[in-house]
Structure 1
C-alpha cells in the first residue's frame, strides 16, 4: 500500500507575545547575554493554559482550515517536547477525546525537539500498513514549565509556548512527504536529563545520581566534541535524505532548523554553505524556541507567505535529547 501523503492545512496556537527587551528582566539579571542571542520576542501561555490546551486549539484550527471534521481523522500523532502534565496519563488520548475524533488511533512522540520530525516517518508507516487510513492529524506542542525551570536560563535558547497542527491526507500532492532520516546516539543520553522533576507536581528531590561529576576539563572536552558532532550530524541526515530523494543539497529552497540563537543559526548556515536567509533564522528571532513546534511554524509561515512555492524542496531539521538528529524532507 502507498505511504504517500501531503499536507492539507495548518493550525496554530501561541502564548502571549512579549518583547525580550521589555520582559526578560523578570527572568534573569543577565540581560545582555539574552539579548546577545538575538531573540526579539518570546511567547508565554497563561498559567491556566496547558500543553494539551495549546494542542487542542491548534488542532481545531487545522481541521477548520482543511474543511475536515474530527470524525474524519484516522490517526493522531501528538509530538511534545516537554513531559506531559501528569504521569501515567496519555495526552494524545486526551486530545482525541476533546476533539471528538473517536475513531482515531493515537500516539505520543516525546523525543524533545525532534518529536514532530520523527512522527512524519511513523505516519508514512501507518499509511503503508493501514489502507483504510485516509486522514491524519499531526500536532506539535510546547509548554515550558516555569515552576521547574527558567525559560531564559535553562540552556542557550529562550523558550516559548506554542503548538502547530497539520492535517495530512493520503495521496495529497501539496507539501508531499518525501522521506525522514534519523541518527541516534545514546552516548549523550544523560546530557539533558532531569533527575526528579515532572511537569505539574514535583517529586521529593533525589540527590543521588548514577553519573558522578567529571572534572571541569573533562566536561569542557566532552561539550566541544558534542558541539562539533551536532553540526556534522545535522548535515549528514540532510545529505542522506537528499540522496534518497535523488536531489542535491543545492536543490533545497529552504532549510528549517529549530529556533536556535543568532550565533548558532549563522554557524548552521555556514555548515550548509548557504546564506542565512535560506534558513529560518528570521523566524527564530521572532518566535524564540518552541521545542518540537519550531519546524512546523516555519513550514506554515513560508508556505502562507509564498516564500515556498509548488515544487520547492524543504528540509525540516532538528536535534533532540537522546540524542537524535532528524531530517524530514518535503516537496511543496
Structure 2
C-alpha cells in the first residue's frame, strides 16, 4: 500500500457572482423575507444569467495559477467538485474546464457529491498523487452555481445559496497548508431529502405552471420525510452533529492526532448556532471557526470551506503550524479533512 504523499496547497484563487444584499432582495424569493433575514446572512453572490459554473471555475483556476506564476499546461491533474446542476447534461465539467484552460491530455476527475465534495475532494487528489508518483501538481476546484429555474436559493435550507468558485493548486512536497488526512462516510437513508423531482430520466420536465418561486421548499420536504414526528425529526437533526464529530475523529485517527490538536474548525457557511454545535465539543470558540466569514457570503455549496480557508489565511487568523479541520455534510455524506498550515 502506498504511503500518503507529502503535499500542500501552494496557492488559492476565488471567483464570486455579483454581491447582493440579503435583506434588500429576500422578498424576490420568499413571501416571508424576515425569516431569511433572521438567519444572519448579510450578503450572497448571484452570478449573471450568462455566467455559469465553468466560467466561475475558470476564473478561480486562472487566479490560483497566476498567483503561483504557473501556466495551466504545467498541471498533471484537474479535479472539479460541482455542487449544483451543470450547464449541460452528458458533458464532463472537468473536461470543459480543462478545455477552457487550453490544456490537453491532462488527467481529469469530476465530483458531484454535493456540498461536502469541497472537503473530501482533497482526498481524491491525495490518493491519485499517492498512486501516481509522476503527478507533481494538481488543480482542485470547488464550484457552486445555483440554477434558479430548479431551486429557490432562499427556500432550500436555512441558508442563502450563493454562486462562487474556489481553486487550489496542490503541489507534491509543498510544506504549507499540508493535507494530513480525510475521513468520509455515507448514510444513504435520506439521500432523497433535498432532491429536485424533475430534470432526470424519471421526470424530465416540470409540471405545467411550476416555478421555483412557488414550489415547496426544503422545510416542507423535511416535514414530509419525517411525517411530522417531532421526535424522529429531532433525532435526525441531532445526528447531523454527532456524525460530524464522528467523521472528524476518524480523520484525527488517520493523522495520528486527537481533538485537542485541532486549532481551527471550518464548517459549512451556516448560522452561528450550527457552527457552535460542532465547535464546542472540540473545545473551540466561535472565534476559531468560519462563523465570522459566513454572513458575508451565504452558502456557496462545495466552495464554502476552501473560500473560508483562503480568507482566514489572508487575514492572519490562521498561523503556521495550526491544524485546521474542514468538515461538511451533503445530505447523506459526512466528510472531514485535516490540514496543517
Preserved CA contact (<8 Å) 2:226 2:232: no
The equivalent residue for 1:182 is: 184
Contact 2:245–2:278 at 8 Å: present in 1 too?
no
The structural deviation recorded for 1:115 is: 0.9
Secondary structure of the structure 2 residue equivalent to 1:146: coil
1:329 correspondence with 2:338: yes
Deviates more, 1:43-52 or 1:2-11: 2-11
1:21 deviation in Å? 2.0
Structure 2 residue aligned with 1:210 = none
Between the aligned partners of 1:204 and 1:28, the Cα distance in structure 2 is: 23
Equivalent position of 2:39 in the other structure: 37
Measured in 2, the distance between the counterparts of 1:49 and 1:63 equals: 21
Task: State the 1:307 CA deviation.
Answer: 1.2
2:268 is matched with which residue?
258
Mapped to 1, the partners of 2:228 and 2:18 lie a distance apart of 41
Q: Name the CA distance, whole Å, in 1 between partners of 2:285 and 2:251.
A: 21
TM-aligned CA deviation for residue 245 of structure 1: 2.0
Instruction: Tell me the distance in 2 between the aligned counterparts of 1:189 and 1:21.
Output: 32
RMSD: 1.8
Map 1:64-103 → 2, pairs under 5 A: 64-103=66-105
Residues 215 and 111 of structure 1: CA distance in aligned 2, closer, same or farther (over 3 Å): closer
- SS of the aligned residue for 2:11 comes to strand
What do residues 249-297 of structure 1 show as CA deviations (whole Å, max 9, x unaligned)? 1222210000012332233333434211111011111111000000000
Counterpart of 1:296 (choices 287, 290, 306) is 306
Q: Give a deviation string over 1:41-69, Cα, whole Å, max 9, x none.
A: 11101000001110011001011011111
Could you tell which deviates more after superposition, 127-136 or 186-195?
A: 186-195
CA contact (8 A) 1:27 1:151 kept: yes
Give the structure-1-normalised TM-score: 0.92
Give the SS at the match of 2:293: helix
Query: Which TM-score applies when normalising by structure 2?
Result: 0.90
Q: Which runs of 5+ in 2 are unaligned?
A: 209-223
Asked whether the equivalents of residues 19 and 44 of structure 2 are also in contact (C-alpha less than 8 Å), the reply is: yes
The aligned counterpart of 1:316 is: 326
The within-5 A match list for 1:213-224 is 216-218=227-229, 220-224=230-234
Output the CA distance in 2 between the equivalents of 1:41 and 1:280: 15
2:107 is aligned with 1:105: yes
Q: Is the 8 A contact 2:265 2:279 kept in 1?
A: no
Most deviating of 272-281 and 8-17 = 272-281
Q: How far is 1:83 from its partner?
A: 2.3
* Aligned-partner Cα distance in 2 for 1:131–1:274: 37
Say whether the 8 Å CA contact 1:83–1:110 is kept in structure 2: no
Indicate conservation of the 8 Å contact 1:37/1:263, yes or no.
no
Displacement of 1:35: 1.4
Counterpart CA distance in 2 for 1:263 and 1:329 is 22
Deviation at 1:214, TM superposition (A): 6.2
